[in-house]
Structure 1
Amino acid sequence: MTTLTHDTSVTDRRPAAERPARPGTRRRTSAHGLLSKTVVNGLLILAACYTLMPVSWLLIAATKNHRDLFATSGFTLGDVNLLANLRHLFTFDDGIYLRWFGNSVLYSVVGSAASSLICVATGYAFDKYDFKGKEKLFALVLGGVLVPSTVIQLPMYLLATKAGIVNTYWALLLPALVNPFGVYLARVFSEGYVPDEVLEAARVDGAGELRTFARVGLPMLAPGFMTIFLFSFTASWNNFFGALVMLNDDHLYPVNLGLFMWNSITQQQPEYYALVITGSLVAVLPLIAAFVCLQRFWRSGLTAGAVK
């Protein structure tokens, strides 16, 4: 009788991917992965602490009275007077801060919504329609991305002077409608989110071009619209130089320009420090709320066109 035995000295001819990992190799791989995760998480925690440090200082400083603001260190709590500081902020000078805050909401929300709608419609047209000189015109739009906003403030001021809208709400609302980077993003979103077959089906059903865009294209471009709105909202809320150039009436100031004016007189009147710090804390809240509420649209928008 012949006995068949398994020769363990025979070399395993299976591919490397199919061979079982050796115990020592598995332990080394696990330890290396754990070390990598620890280093990455540590760096992320340091970056988060560095990013949140100014906001933390602002929150702590907004709870102090005028004496503790200068008598204690920056990250030391004094007597908690946040509600008193807020009451003083909202009632100071007949509630001028609330007017500035409302102006910022008007400039940012209304201007950004209109700008985002124009950008989405323009990007949709660049993507879905063929017309003479389309790529050259789009290249011109991209050229506008390279121009810093501060460079065109003087020409825009001269144009606003000719139009008679200096020192009005329109002086900030109309320039906010032009957003070349938003047009570029909208075209990318249109390529990734709106299939041509769906538009053709809508046209076969008898829908016109405007109705096709409003009923089919625009709902599909909702993530792109919200992403562009978020960028436009942030830029409009932080638009300091444009307001400084265009506005003279303090009742038309956005909140950042109003706080700057208060801060400019703190050397002569130190009691304005508490107003500036508390007002800065309140002014940050809309940006935080916008990012928290709209981040899911922003995350989905970042992957537009990444997978075909």
Structure 2
Amino acid sequence: MATTETTGLKARKSVVLSIVLWMLLAYFMLPLCWLLVNATKSNVDLFATFGLAFAPSFALFDNIQSLFAFQDGIFLRWFGNTILYAVVGAGGAAVIAAMGGYALAKFDFHGRRGVLMAVLGASAVPGTALAVPTYMLFSQWGLINTELAVIIPALASPFGLFLMLVYAQDAVPDSMIEAARIDGAGEARIFWTIALPLLAPGFVTVLLFQLVATWNNYFLPLIVLNQSDKFPLTVGLSLWNKLANAGGVNLAQPLYPLVITGSLLAVLPLIVAFLFLQRHWQSGIAAGGVKQ
């Protein structure tokens, strides 16, 4: 009898948990569905139909064509800038975090505890609090309105460094490192050929976090860039949205469909990147699970 009651209780908890998860999924997917539906509407249909209902006419391809042609195709320039900032920034941050986390986990050096405390403290500081000091520092260095003003801050990821530190402690056996040293391998070779493959799941995790953070970065590019041809998608689409709210400022092209369609296209690379990297993430976890 007790076993039957326990089974029934677990079944009810499973149903409740499933309902909660489906509700969360609907909550997070609703904005994406709204973007997908409204990107297919013309400017007239956008305000004449319900937000989650398709319009009689399908204007997605017309919106994309207008998006790429508007202001001499500056959207494509913003798209390229965002890819540059995200790939270089996120990739560099993941490599630096992997190297730093491995060093903190496997080397005992003077000042290690102080470095660890500094990393933990930096993880608690929001990026927006550092935007103005970063602007003042880059202004002295002459980096304002350059790509480096966006890329350099993206290379620093205290959370990623701490994550790699925790992961490297167990993922890279000390015995394997000692065996490589006995065979005559240098520290750099040990890291790139032995440690880094074992750190792949943690590396991809940091890469995903930094990729999303850099791709969606808005406040820092807003204050360090003042030329529209260097804007990322976040700043550029926000500028168009402000113009649309202001009545277009004598622009003949309706901007709301362009902003919505541009936002949809801006989301797609993140989805593709996550699906692609998730495969390597899961394969790395599976490989680590059977490693002796």
**With structure 1 as the length reference, what TM-score do the two structures score?**
0.87
2:267 corresponds to: 284
The one-letter code sitting in structure 2 at the alignment partner of 1:284 is V
CA distance in 2, matches of 1:209, 1:232: 26
- Which ranges in structure 1 are unaligned for 5 or more consecutive residues? 1-23
2:53 corresponds to: 76
**Equivalent residues in 2 for 1:96-175 (5 A)?**
96-175=74-153
Structure 1 stretches of 4+ with a deviation exceeding 4 A read 24-27, 296-301
Give the deviation of 1:89 after TM superposition.
Answer: 0.8
CA distance in 2, matches of 1:182, 1:193: 16
Give the deviation of 1:296 after TM superposition.
Answer: 4.5
2:277 corresponds to: 294
The one-letter code sitting in structure 1 at the alignment partner of 2:200 is A
CA distance in 2, matches of 1:265, 1:216: 53
The one-letter code sitting in structure 2 at the alignment partner of 1:147 is V
Q: Which moved more, 1:175-184 or 1:250-259?
A: 175-184
Q: 1:58 aligns with which of 35, 41, 54?
A: 35
Between Structure 1 and Structure 2, the one with more helix by share is 2
Deviations 1:224-278 (A, max 9, x none): 1111111110110111000001000100000010000000011312810010000
* Residues 143 and 27 of structure 1, relative CA distance in 2, 3 Å threshold: closer
Give the deviation of 1:41 after TM superposition.
Answer: 1.2
RMSD, aligned α-carbons? 1.9
CA distance in 1, matches of 2:102, 2:13: 43
Identity of aligned residues (%): 44
Q: Which moved more, 1:265-274 or 1:55-64?
A: 265-274
* Residues 142 and 28 of structure 1, relative CA distance in 2, 3 Å threshold: closer
Cα contact 1:64–1:81 (8 A) shared by 2? yes
